[in-house]
Amino acid sequence: MRRALTVTAVAGAAFWTRRALRRRIGRSPLWPLPALETPVSGHSPRRRLRARIVSRTQPAEGVLRLVLEAADLPAWTPGAHVDVVLPSGLVRQYSLCGDPSQAGRYTIAIRLVEDGRGGSREAHARLVEGADLELRPPRNRFALVPAASYVFVAGGIGITPVLPMLRAATAAGADWSLLYGGRSRASMPFLDELAAYGDRVTVLPQDETGLPDLSPLARVAPGTPVYCCGPEPLMAAVLAAAPDPASVHLERFAPAAAAGPARPFTVTLHRSGAAVRVGADETTLAAVRRELPNTPYSCEQGFCGTCQHRVLAGEVDHRDELLTDAEREDSMLLCVSRAASDHLTLDL
């Protein structure tokens, strides 16, 4: 008798639990696990985008302007650039120079560099209208800080990140001026668009006015942000001419991934205080493993990300194509990247 009661009670409880569960699960198939508030999966900043080239024009001599479209292109802010994966697999960075309010559409401009590393030659030869292009999501390391006034300096194709900034500054009612240098008017893109801004824009073609006169920069009020994108000598001159180098924002053409010759340097392992000498003919990882044999790594080619470690001090010469800009701020891949200075401190 007692046994029958127990069996009935257990069966009843099981039946009731099953019905309750069914009802809960019916309301949501995902009851009852907690969820991570900021999900990690499926939000990889390393994901690839695919866009179609819907227009290809030549706004100036040797400059190619491409308009790319896809439904799911992420939003971007002025100063952002995208990594473009060229058909051969080469990856190159180009600033976005279109209108950020146009969802699903990116515009980039590429100057042909005949004696360059081949990226622009391939882009000019092979990127045709109607073709599909692989991109990585936009990143911004040249973002416009809110201010009442700005000074922009652009050299040649360096106008590309500045162009959307001018529109944003105008829309925000800020006071701004632009110095735009180049070799000749025929080689300087977007002059017609800039003409609409009137005397806020000073065009300085080298064949008419010589090297750009940066003396107006000396009169800039301290604290006014100066944004400069152009060839290396121009940026050095802007840094020298500006009264307050701390408010100068620079965007370099050359990607950090450009692999120069390997130089020896020293790594300090912060936790033990040990110093390791990295020779010119070995990787940072190999040197660190002499001291710490259990340092995790795997592919040794900079694609799996296992050997990513925190950098506490020193300039890194990033030679991978995996880490995002945010990750590059304070970490590196030991297997391929090296020091840009003579010394690095790692959190190891």
Q: How far is the CB of 198 from other proteins (least distance, A)?
A: 43
- Calculate ∠ Cα 341-344-348, nearest 5°: 165
State how far the alpha carbon of 148 is from the alpha carbons of 54, 79, 206, 312, in Å. Answer: 37, 18, 31, 35
Q: Which is nearer to other proteins, 34 or 173 (CB)?
A: 34
Interface region with other proteins, contact rule CB under 8 A, candidates 126-134, 145-153, 242-250, 280-288 = 126-134
- Interacting residues with other proteins between 133 and 152 (CB under 8 A): 134
Q: How far is the CB of 42 from other proteins (least distance, A)?
A: 3
Q: How far is the CB of 38 from other proteins (least distance, A)?
A: 8
Residue 299 sits in the site that holds other proteins (CB under 8 A) = yes
Q: Which residues of 123-139 are buried (b: 16+ CB within 10 A; e: fewer)?
A: bbeebeeeeebebbbbb
Count of residues of this chain found to bind other proteins when the rule CB under 8 A is applied: 34
State how far the alpha carbon of 213 is from the alpha carbons of 12, 24, 248, in Å. Answer: 90, 72, 17
Report how far residue 161's alpha carbon sits from residue 164's, in angstroms, rounded to the nearest whole number.
6
Report how far residue 177's alpha carbon sits from residue 150's, in angstroms, rounded to the nearest whole number.
7
Residue 128 sits in the site that holds other proteins (CB under 8 A) = no
- Interacting residues with other proteins between 239 and 298 (CB under 8 A): 294, 296-298
Binding mask 26-45 for other proteins (x = CB under 8 A): ---xx--xxxxx-xxxx-x-
Handedness of CA 80, 170, 160, 211 (dihedral sign): negative
- Interacting residues with other proteins between 304 and 333 (CB under 8 A): 304-306
- Interacting residues with other proteins between 52 and 91 (CB under 8 A): 71-72, 85, 87, 89
* DSSP code at position 220: S
Residue 289 is which amino acid? R
- Site residues (vs other proteins, CB under 8 A): 29-30, 33-37, 39-42, 44, 46-48, 50, 71-72, 85, 87, 89, 131-132, 134, 294, 296-299, 301, 303-306
